[in-house]
Structure 1
Amino acid sequence: MSQLVASTPGHLKGIKIVVVGAGSVGVTTAYALLLSGLAAEIVLIDIDKQRAEGEVMDLNHAAHFAQARVVAGEYEDCAGAAAVIITAGVNQKPGQTRLDLVKTNYALFADVVPRIAKSAPDTILIVATNPVDVLTHAAYKLSGFPVERVIGSGTAMDTTRFRHELSKEFGVNPRNVHAVIIGEHGDSQLPVWSLASIVGMRLKDFAAQKGIEYRQDAMDACARRTKEAAYEIIRRKGKTNYGVASVLVSILEPIITDGDALMTVSRVGNYGGVEDVALSMPCKLNRTGAHIDVPLLLDTSEQEALRKSALSIKEVIDSV
């Protein structure tokens, strides 16, 4: 390994992260990861080796301002990786749902995941490819890893979008909005209204204290824009990449730093009485993976909506 910048934190000098897929999400993730300072080495793998090499050349010019080196690699180079992020797959096209992609991308995972698992039996898999819940379940089965070491990006992106929408509605910074989207990263996702708050106050109470009207139709519109955000972005520019790349790095950070951060990520479990399905709930992320530390307290309607979301995903899993 080439000499790293002297300011690299000591506990990060041995950290290798692999990104599988040199498409827009994979490359943007590699770039965001490079600037984050979380890794000493970033390996980019793609079936199109020339493209991967070209992206790596470009990224290494950015590495002049960062602390890591970036290399193009093969699956054998996953050995010793702290985490492998899988972004490879067919992208969602205008008019498609995420679930429409399942058969093509499942076939890709059947090839890729066992190769990763063979080279890096102790790594943590982070799945970003859609449909992410179905493919998180596939990666779990194909890898043979413990459930906590196979993590889908899930509704972490939706939760970020949701907080952004609510922050505009209430005129506050998104960091001050505590609200989550759970369930499927897709059309059956659900906002947890019963627990949503700003500075410790439920949304209705915050609105009353601020002297503004609380309107449920406005709240429903926030949830709708959250669910439809990817479709709207894809319709306009053909892809999403910046938001998801930033979310992937935010998922990776507590894994690398053993941070015990709570995030809505997808992992396999039993949800709403539906067994062996992957969907998103708040999980504690640390160096051993994703753990459901405290069950989320949902009201009756939310419990039923979660069950419907789980059944929707389970139906697709069983069809593969």
Structure 2
Amino acid sequence: MKKVSSLSELGLGDDVSRAFFRPLQQAAPPSPTKRQIKISVIGTGNVGMAIAQTILTQDLADELALVDAKPDKLRGEMLDLQHAAAFLPRTKICASPDYAVTAASDLCIITAGARQIAGESRLDLVQRNLALFREIVPPLARYSPDALLLVVSNPVDVLTYIAWKLSGFPPNRVIGSGTNLDSSRFRFLLADHLEVNAQDVQAYMVGEHGDSSVALWSSISVGGVPVLSSLEKHQIAYEAEVLESIRKAVVGSAYEVIRLKGYTSWAIGYSVASLARSLLRDQHRIHPVSLLAKGFYGIPDDHEVFLSLPARLGRGGVLSVANVQLTDEESNRLRSSAHTLWEIQRQLGI
């Protein structure tokens, strides 16, 4: 029996709608100012589908396009989402291994990437992902020349730099998910300890998405109250080692999830959906995302590195970078992250 995804493929003509609906007389055409939002997700693994599912349930797109190199899995994922149409906002869902399906996207989210294998160096992993991105990014840029690119694949900072180079897009339109999720984990731990809502905690992880990320303790506040200065005012002792152990717990929380269930998916799905909302709805919210960081916080102008800084996001992508006051130690750690990434990028030859 032929596999179908629509009734038209079974021979039911498009004119059948006349039996159900009667057109209005002298009706005006649709407003030319109405804007349809299209999001494309590249890669339908656990992360890609968690992002797609969250985008659908939060009604962020009028059209969702899925791309993957495995056509059977891709079609299965598309059908599975389409079959939930009665429970979701009206969104057109399409899928194809051909990047033409992404044409005229407002936002392209890249989740595809090679996983690190045992004994493989970080540079070897980056080189394999570079080869993969050479197949992904140019067609996305060709079919959607005005889109925003959002890279989620790891190592996200270097791959965001690669996507920028391969796309030819201005840097403000190429963004990495960076430490947006790390910062959420950070806020959760603080909120859980203080018994407050995580939305009332302002706390950022910046720098490289990984083991060298930097916790900005000097700027953390809860309900508008600066944390460190409040501790000092009330003569509550704390040690730098304790703060560092909390930072390591944030970094290690992802590894814990992977150890327990094999992968992370739901939290990154919500994280990326929050970025999509801020970008496409022009909300001007502050997110710590991977962006071209040269010239900020003492990072040399000749270091074209992408790493996470608190940035104001809107329809134009990265609109500006927040001028957060860093301690000398935080600045030094941030520049150290930038130097590490720069050394890796210099060996890529792009």
One fold, TM greater than 0.5? yes
Residues in 2 aligned to 1:59 and 1:195: alpha-carbon distance in whole angstroms: 41
1:172 and 2:196 aligned = yes
The residue number in structure 2 matching 1:315 is: 343
Matched length: 314
Equivalent of residue 128 in structure 1, options 149, 152, 163: 152
Task: Provide, for residues 243-286 of structure 1, a one-character-per-residue CA deviation record: whole Å limited to 9, x for no partner.
Answer: 11111100000111111111000011304333210000011110
2:219/2:324 contact within 8 Å kept: no
- Specify the SS of the correspondent of 1:295: coil
Residues in 2 aligned to 1:265 and 1:216: alpha-carbon distance in whole angstroms: 26
Task: Provide, for residues 215-252 of structure 1, a one-character-per-residue CA deviation record: whole Å limited to 9, x for no partner.
Answer: 65443322111111222222222211111111110000
- Specify the SS of the correspondent of 2:57: helix
1:285 and 2:313 aligned = yes
Q: 1:258 to 1:97 in 2, by over 3 A?
A: farther
Counterpart AA for 2:346: D
CA root-mean-square deviation: 2.6
Q: 1:66 to 1:159 in 2, by over 3 A?
A: same
Q: 1:304 to 1:212 in 2, by over 3 A?
A: closer
The residue number in structure 2 matching 1:71 is: 94
2:183/2:205 contact within 8 Å kept: yes
Give the structure with the higher percent helix: 1
Task: Provide, for residues 37-85 of structure 1, a one-character-per-residue CA deviation record: whole Å limited to 9, x for no partner.
Answer: 0101100100001111100111112232112121113211221111000
1:92/1:239 contact within 8 Å kept: no
The residue number in structure 2 matching 1:21 is: 43
Q: Displacement of 1:169 after TM fit? A: 2.2
Counterpart AA for 1:43: A
The residue number in structure 2 matching 1:7 is: none
Q: How does 1:148-227 map to 2 (within 5 A)?
A: 148-206=172-230, 214=238, 216-227=240-251
Q: 1:216 to 1:172 in 2, by over 3 A?
A: farther
- Specify the SS of the correspondent of 1:169: helix
Percent of aligned pairs with the same amino acid: 38
- Specify the SS of the correspondent of 2:304: strand
Task: Provide, for residues 265-318 of structure 1, a one-character-per-residue CA deviation record: whole Å limited to 9, x for no partner.
Answer: 001130433321000001111001013343322111111111001011111111
Q: 1:169 to 1:216 in 2, by over 3 A?
A: farther
Q: How does 1:97-116 map to 2 (within 5 A)?
A: 101-116=125-140
Residues in 2 aligned to 1:299 and 1:212: alpha-carbon distance in whole angstroms: 20
Residues in 2 aligned to 1:60 and 1:94: alpha-carbon distance in whole angstroms: 38
The residue number in structure 2 matching 1:55 is: 77
Contiguous gaps of at least 5 residues in structure 1: 4-9
Q: Displacement of 1:93 after TM fit? A: 6.4
Equivalent of residue 328 in structure 2, options 300, 305, 316: 300
The residue number in structure 1 matching 2:60 is: 38
1:251 and 2:279 aligned = no
How high is the TM-score relative to the length of structure 1?
0.90
Contiguous gaps of at least 5 residues in structure 2: 1-5, 7-13, 18-31
- Specify the SS of the correspondent of 1:292: strand
The residue number in structure 2 matching 1:140 is: 164
Q: 1:233 to 1:263 in 2, by over 3 A?
A: same
